């Protein structure tokens, strides 16, 4: 059974918009229908088991991404977890981010009037970051592992190198355009905090996400909150003080359960195998796009490439691509696509043939 057979796909559609929102697997959709029907039935006990169920979601996230279960927090999206984390850090911290970063990363720094500096993004971005750290001496690096417009992918090994050279800098990363495209071990990554939404490459629909905290950062946050007493009300007695910030109220079991179901499928299929499949697709796509000079220069010059590609086409072609059944999206100076496990080489060839026809 091919990966694509786990999804509802149409022969009329070439779906290459996982960087916008990923498709939900068939069995996750079936789980949602069954769960919602049973959850709201008058005679069910499921509503009384929400806390226990959500713990199984956290356990699944921790297992799939190699993190400690007690460092996982369920959030409705990347932005909530990230902004809450920023509010818990000292107000005099200095932040370093990449130029053109995702607005949900940079704007919370701007809107809180916090000190920050940006780094030029080009083919040697990792070296640019190191130079900026030496010059600006930030407390925190804010970074998307894969940039949402260009698709530039930070070398995962860089975070470990950075942590070894600058152990006192907190690394806060956005994994929304990365997690789900290859195997990833948070506990060995060098990253201190990783926030992610589930609606893109994790194929889990909207309203779910999570935050992973390294135990060192978790301990530092708890130290800053040491004067706040733990909740004492019976039904909050199992919450930590950090829980009251990152999971302050009800958590939607349908949304988070969908994330769990999709992650269980990824785990069953194997993220290494998924990564190999996506790499094969990317090799073909990058080769054909390079032949047509349709890659961003900084991407064309980097050996490390992501599954998100900004094709340098005039955006006036976007409606025509959509009419041809190519699901994509205009971003930056071109048309953005994302290649995922449900795509096949035929999708790449159809996309290229359509581009050749429309140019």
Rounded average pLDDT over 190-195 = 98
User: Left if phi > 0, otherwise alpha if psi is -120 to 50, otherwise beta: which for 250?
Assistant: beta
Residue 244 · residue 225 · CB < 8 Å: no
Q: Does residue 355 sit in helix, strand or coil?
A: helix
Tokens of 10: 């149409």
Q: Looking at 157-254, which runs of residues are DSSP E strands?
A: 170-174, 193-197, 209-213
Give the pLDDT confidence of 95-128 residue by residue, as tens digits. 999 999 999 999 999 999 999 999 999 999 999 9
pLDDT of residue 226: 87
Which letter, b or e, does each residue of 20-29 get, where b requires 16 or more Cβ atoms within 10 Å of its Cβ?
bbbbbbeebb
Delineate the domains of the chain, giving CATH numbers in brackets. 3-25+271-358 (3.90.1150.10), 28-268 (3.40.640.10)
Q: Band of the pLDDT at 90, cuts 50, 70, 90?
A: very high
pLDDT of residue 336: 98
Name the DSSP letter for residue 16.
Answer: -
Q: Is residue 291's pLDDT more than 80?
A: yes
Q: Band of the pLDDT at 1, cuts 50, 70, 90?
A: confident
Question: Cβ of 228: how many Cβ atoms within 10 Å?
Answer: 12
Cα 128 from Cα 16, distance rounded (Å) = 31
Nearest Cα to 201, choosing from 235, 165, 226, 176?
Answer: 176
Cα 320 from Cα 302, distance rounded (Å) = 30
Of the listed ranges 100-109, 147-156, 226-235, 286-295, the least confidently predicted one is: 226-235
Rounded average pLDDT over 31-49 = 93
Q: Is residue 149's pLDDT more than 90?
A: yes
């Amino acid at each position: 059974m091919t990966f694509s057979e786990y999804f509802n796909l149409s022969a009329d559609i070439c779906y290459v918009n996982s960087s916008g929102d990923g498709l939900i697997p068939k069995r996750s959709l079936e789980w949602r229908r069954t769960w919602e029907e049973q959850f709201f039935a008058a005679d069910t006990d499921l509503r009384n088991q929400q806390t226990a169920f959500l713990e199984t979601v956290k356990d699944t996230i921790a297992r799939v991404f190699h993190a400690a279960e007690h460092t996982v927090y369920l959030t409705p999206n990347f932005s909530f977890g990230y902004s809450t984390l920023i509010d818990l850090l000292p107000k005099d911290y200095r932040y370093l981010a990449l130029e053109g970063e995702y607005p949900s990363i940079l704007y919370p720094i701007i809107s809180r009037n916090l000190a920050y500096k940006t780094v030029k993004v080009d083919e040697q971005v990792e070296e640019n970051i190191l130079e900026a750290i030496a010059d600006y001496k930030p407390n925190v690096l804010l970074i998307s592992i894969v940039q949402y417009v260009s698709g530039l992918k930070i070398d995962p090994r860089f975070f470990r190198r950075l942590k070894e050279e600058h152990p006192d800098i907190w690394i806060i990363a956005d994994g929304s355009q990365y997690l789900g495209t290859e195997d990833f071990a948070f506990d060995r990554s060098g990253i201190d905090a990783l926030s992610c939404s589930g609606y893109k490459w994790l194929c889990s629909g909207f309203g779910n996400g999570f935050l992973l905290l390294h135990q060192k950062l978790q301990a530092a946050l708890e130290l800053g909150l040491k004067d706040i007493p733990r909740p004492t009300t019976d039904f909050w007695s199992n919450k930590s003080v950090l829980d009251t910030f990152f999971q302050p109220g009800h958590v939607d079991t349908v949304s988070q359960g969908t994330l769990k179901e999709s992650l269980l499928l990824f785990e069953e299929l194997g993220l290494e195998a998924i990564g190999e499949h996506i790499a094969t697709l990317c090799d073909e796509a990058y080769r054909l796009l390079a032949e047509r000079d349709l890659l961003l220069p900084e991407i064309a010059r980097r050996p490390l490439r992501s599954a998100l590609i900004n094709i340098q086409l005039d955006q006036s072609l976007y409606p025509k691509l959509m009419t041809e059944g190519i699901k994509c999206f205009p971003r930056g100076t071109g048309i953005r696509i994302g290649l995922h496990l449900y795509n096949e080489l035929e999708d790449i060839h159809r996309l290229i043939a359509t581009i050749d026809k429309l140019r």
